[in-house]
Homo-oligomer: A and B are copies of this chain.
Amino acid sequence: MQLLKDRIKKDGKIRAGNVLKVDSFLNHQMDIELFGEIGKEFKKRFADCEVTKILTIEASGIGIACVAAQYFEVPVVFAKKNQTKNIAGDVYTGKVESFTHGRVYDIIVAKEFLKAEDKVLIIDDFLANGNALLGLAKLVKDAGASLVGAGIVIEKGFQEGGALVRASGVRVESLAIIESMNEDSGVVFRD
Contacts and interface: CB of A to CB of B under 8 A. Distances in A.
A128 B143 CA distance: 34
Consensus secondary structure, chain A interface: mixed
Given A73-B33, A86-B23, A110-B23, A28 B101 contact: no
Contacts of A133: none
Interface residues of A, number: 41
The copy count of this chain in the complex is: 2
A168 interface: no
B35 A66 contact: yes
Contacts of A31: 75
Interface string A50-88: 000000001100110111011001111110100011110
A75 B23 contact: no
